[in-house]
Structure 1
Amino acid sequence: MSEPRYFLAYCDKLFTPSESFIPRGYSAFSKLKPLYIGHEVKGPIPEGAEVVQLGPLHGPAGESAFKQLGSISTKLEETLKAYNPVALHASFGKSGAYALPLAKKLELPMAVTYYGGDATKTTNTKDSFIRVYNRRRAKLWKDADLILPCSNFIRDELAAKGAPEDKMVVHHNTADPARFEPGEKKDLLVFAGRWTEKKGIDTLIAALARLGEELEGWTVRLIGDGDLKEDLVKELQAAGVNAELPGWVEADDMPGHWAEARIAVVPSKRAKSGDAEGLPLVCIEAMLSGCALAATRHAGITECVKDGVTGYLVDEGDEAALADRLARMLTDKDRTKQMGEEGRNFALSDFNLQKQSKTLEAYLIDLAKKADLL
């Protein structure tokens, strides 16, 4: 078997802890291997990963000229050409806009993946000459060879703003079934996410306050931190809801939490800024772990949660309906267990990291072949 060929994996902020899904998305590649490129390394570099930080390779005007003007220094061009890459894959629309001139300079086919806010936030969808992404957005969509929205919802959001539908292929978020498996289940309800408007943690806490004695015997674990936390914890305390508050949990530690939970709650909603989910990874992680989901009809959540089968769906911000569905799940444990089992089977079939990773590799190989680079 011949040695794998490089492709450029561009993300301006590399290895951000909350974005571990990016390197994992390449985990089943066998014919291609990523050369990670970007300007900041925000977290631990995965074992075996090859990284080129672009900052030292820019010309006299530095990173600003690269991002604002698309200036590619000779040193940068020669350094990357030495790897003989066959394609460029950018994670997030903003990184795609930064990477577009580089792909042109190196004559590489380019794919860009959209994950959520990069397609929905007002700051990203409005017209603006000042912001690089907004200024290059139309050109990015015109010149990119492939656009990969992470859900049908994100595809529709992009199409409504003018992205060419014939270039878009939905590539769902996924999780690794080797990491997320059911464990010994406890009477445990888990939320995991940032305590921000988009994550809907305020809706969940209002729903928990309505449940009262129905929570007796159950443990409520609310994972994460964020701007809303201080005030919402006070609301929890005022309502007499006892909850575990472990704060931020590393991605590598999340399998243990999902493994023992019976119920996962994903109450996301569109924020006032327009920010919306793509397809929350916690849904897939929880489903693979055998959790039943109580979630909202928001973004790509409806693509992975089957109402009444793998969990329950309620409208965004509907605390009364969420409390009602949670009450059903708390009291009918056999039904909740069955939902968790159905959810795991669905996730194994349709949201399996290894399958999706191989599909992504096939997309990039196809682009490289069409460009006569393979």
Structure 2
Amino acid sequence: MNVAICANKFPVASQTFVKRHVKYSFDGKAKLIVYKKSGLIEVDYVSLETKGVLGRGQRKIESVFNFLLDSPRGTLRFLRRRKAKKFLIDNNVECVIFEFGTCAIPLYSLLCELEIPYFVYFRGYDASKSLRDEKIISDYKKVIGNAKAVFSVAQYLLDELSQSGIFNKYSYVLPSGVDTNLFVPTEKKKGKIVFAGRLVEKKQPYLVLRAVHEVIKLYPHVSFFIIGDGPLRGKLISYISSNNLTEKVCMLGELDHVQVRQHLSDADILVQHSVTAESGDSEGAPSIIQEGMSCGCGVVATLHAGIPELISSGVDGLLVPEHDESLLYESIIEFIRKPEYRLKIANSGRLKAISEFDCWELQKQFEDIVRFHLDRG
């Protein structure tokens, strides 16, 4: 079966789920459609990036094309569509899988024209922040309604879509998953706490840093490792410096997946304090939480979006309300003060990761569902 996978940007270090689909789906023969290329791509692909497509002379007459095509970006849309059409026809693509909801909108009419079936995956912002745009909601109603089936990493996201009048009767919840054979516990470093994610409002790294600082005051043996980069980096560095925490808190920047795995494997605790940003952006079911559970970390996260679908608080992790810095502090303290309790929670999390979040089992389920819906015509 000739399948094409479509992503907004590829490759992206944190999007291991997309990389797995591209590399291993359907016997590793999937093609790739990408709107922006951001590194080496080792499969057959087409980039629909429009930056620099038009030469100087062409840009001078672009406004004429835009007027004729009745679109503010008509020229670029025309060129993108033509390029995608050629790729789909030349490679005899039989179905397209969109890794994010927003990916599907630009190519929807082309797939209808070519009568190519498609599937759509929702993972977070595409079913939260994007739903504040009435144009996207209108587009989603057509795109999702006509998809063969829809996947989401969390029921929460499907519910958000439903509240905006966006439905597909064939909808499935499949988390992104984790390779439980690679993400395994090793000898734990006592008091090691890890945060991993973009340093942005939605992840609340500054709140986490303040809470961990209070923990360090009580337990000086605690060390804190911050993995990731983003606009809040400077604010974190300033706090670390002004509070003399340079020997206790390590800013690691963006790391590759192997390095992230190494830090999770020997960490006692993973802290992930996700919230809904002012823009409306929210999580789906964060991969880092599934990875932390698989590595035997005591996970402290929030009652946010699809996270309660991953963690049963007090059983295989601890959940606190969004923005509750005091309860976050108390939950970390509980894990530090009661190592046997943390180990019990961590072991339960590891077992859940193996039974419910193994990426290869989820990949098989995903492919089986795709094939089923293609076979039903």
**Structures share fold, TM-score greater than 0.5:** yes
1:258 corresponds to which residue? 264
Which amino acid in the other structure matches residue 33 of structure 2?
I
> What SS class does the counterpart of residue 39 from structure 1 fall into?
strand
1:52 corresponds to which residue? 46
1:21-48 Cα deviation digits (max 9, x unpaired): 2121355545573111123211332x5x
1:208 corresponds to which residue? 212
Among 140, 146, 156, the alignment partner of 2:149 is: 146
- 2:249, 2:271 → 1: CA distance? 14
1:118 pairs with 2:126: yes
1:175 corresponds to which residue? 178
> What SS class does the counterpart of residue 163 from structure 1 fall into?
coil
- 1:145, 1:261 → 2: CA distance? 42
1:51-102 Cα deviation digits (max 9, x unpaired): 223469x99979x5487579743x6434422322221100111111122123
Which amino acid in the other structure matches residue 159 of structure 1?
S
1:82 pairs with 2:90: yes
The answer to whether the 8 Å contact 1:269/1:298 transfers is: yes
Q: How many Å apart are 1:134 and its aligned residue?
A: 4.9
1:277 corresponds to which residue? 283
- 1:104, 1:85 → 2: CA distance? 13
Moved more, 347-356 or 212-221: 212-221
Task: Give the share of equivalent positions with the same residue, in percent.
Answer: 26
Q: How many Å apart are 1:364 and its aligned residue?
A: 1.6
Which amino acid in the other structure matches residue 125 of structure 1?
R
1:163 pairs with 2:166: yes
1:84-122 Cα deviation digits (max 9, x unpaired): 22211001111111221232132121111111011111x
- 2:291, 2:40 → 1: CA distance? 21
Normalization by structure 1: what TM-score? 0.88
State how 1:228-239 maps to structure 2 within 5 Å.
Answer: 228-239=232-243
1:198-223 Cα deviation digits (max 9, x unpaired): 00212212212322433321221111
The answer to whether the 8 Å contact 2:216/2:222 transfers is: no
1:295 pairs with 2:298: no
- 1:341, 1:270 → 2: CA distance? 29
Residues 294 and 369 (structure 1), Cα distance of their counterparts in 2 relative to 1, 3 Å cut: same
Among 224, 228, 231, the alignment partner of 1:227 is: 231
Q: How many Å apart are 1:175 and its aligned residue?
A: 1.2
Moved more, 137-146 or 263-272: 137-146
> What SS class does the counterpart of residue 12 from structure 1 fall into?
strand
- 1:50, 1:285 → 2: CA distance? 29
Which amino acid in the other structure matches residue 185 of structure 2?
P
Residues 194 and 12 (structure 1), Cα distance of their counterparts in 2 relative to 1, 3 Å cut: closer
Residues 139 and 317 (structure 1), Cα distance of their counterparts in 2 relative to 1, 3 Å cut: same
Which amino acid in the other structure matches residue 188 of structure 2?
K
- 1:357, 1:212 → 2: CA distance? 41
Q: How many residues align?
A: 358
Among 88, 94, 108, the alignment partner of 2:102 is: 94
1:363 pairs with 2:369: yes
2:36 corresponds to which residue? 40
Residues 27 and 51 (structure 1), Cα distance of their counterparts in 2 relative to 1, 3 Å cut: closer
Q: How many Å apart are 1:224 and its aligned residue?
A: 1.2
Unpaired runs of 5+ residues, structure 1, are none
Residues 28 and 39 (structure 1), Cα distance of their counterparts in 2 relative to 1, 3 Å cut: closer
State how 1:240-255 maps to structure 2 within 5 Å.
Answer: 240-241=244-245, 242-255=248-261
The answer to whether the 8 Å contact 1:25/1:356 transfers is: no
1:255-277 Cα deviation digits (max 9, x unpaired): 11111111100111000000000
State how 1:266-345 maps to structure 2 within 5 Å.
Answer: 266-345=272-351
- 1:220, 1:353 → 2: CA distance? 28
- 2:311, 2:75 → 1: CA distance? 42
Which amino acid in the other structure matches residue 95 of structure 2?
A
Normalization by structure 2: what TM-score? 0.87
The answer to whether the 8 Å contact 1:72/1:105 transfers is: no
